[in-house]
Amino acid sequence: MVRWIDISVSNRQLKLYDASTLLKTYPIAVGKVLTPTPTGNYIIVNKEANPGGPFGVLWMGLSKPHYGIHGTNDPSSIGKEVSHGCVRMYNNDVTELSSMVPIGTNVYIHT
């Protein structure tokens, strides 16, 4: 099992793969023009349940400091360019995703 995450900023979609098999597609919110979501290859370095504030029920930190994949306390923001660069997901989606990916999972972010 080689799970990895593909994030398309322009499509506002996060896709979970196992090797070349697509397992699930999730809608996301991404960074706004002045605070874009950084493109590149990263890994999930930590997970924190109930981080508080705008981060919803779960935070998964990326190897780029201060950036992560997290839930939201504003579900109406999903599908939009509204964050400070992080990837926002519905709380139930980020909880499901976290249960399927371990720390160390590769995350590929592209336009």
- Catalytic positions, please? 70, 86
- Strand 58-62 to 87-88 pairing: unpaired
Nearest to 10, CA basis, from 79, 75, 61, 77: 79
**Helix, strand, coil share of the chain (percent; to 5):** 15, 45, 40
Q: Which of 37, 25, 19, 83 is nearest to 56 (CA)?
A: 83
